[in-house]
Amino acid sequence: MNGKTSQEVTETFTILEKIMSTWTEESKDICEVKIDDFLGDLTKRGWRRNDIFKLLQETYAPARPPLPDGASIYLGGVEDSITGYLHPDCIMRFADENIENIEELTAYVRSAQWKKRRTHERSNEIQAQELSASDQSSLPSKSKNASF
């Protein structure tokens, strides 16, 4: 995931797996609250829409044990709140997006621009670093004989 260390992602996924492993018909309400609180905490720690979406997608990876039916349905609803495929008032909000107008937020989320955002920002960072490095290499070296 962009911007997250593999250790951070692994630790975070482990916590989500622990919550999911306690899912039963009797404990579903408690698990739903735990998942909501957990994801809310991630957003407060700077996780972006795409980071959390990818984390949830990982729960469906073929190498993972299957999720309990109720958990799978609930996570599907959470994914819908991330991707915007439900009522606009239910779209999950992220501080880094800073979009107050519900119509603008809905258009942004449903257009999936947020999936491209991290890659684009990272590309700009890399380009800036490359430009900086090339600027440095084009400067005259400071040797004893150089006069400025």
pLDDT in tens, 17-69: 999 999 999 999 999 999 999 999 999 998 999 999 999 998 888 888 888 88
Specify the pTM. 0.72
The answer as to whether 33 is a domain residue is: yes
pLDDT in tens, 78-103: 999 999 999 999 999 998 888 989 99
131-to-105, 122, 126 alpha-carbon distances in Å: 34, 14, 9
The pLDDT confidence band at residue 117, using thresholds 50, 70 and 90, is low
The answer as to whether 147 is a domain residue is: no
Domain tally, the chain: 1
The answer as to whether 146 is a domain residue is: no
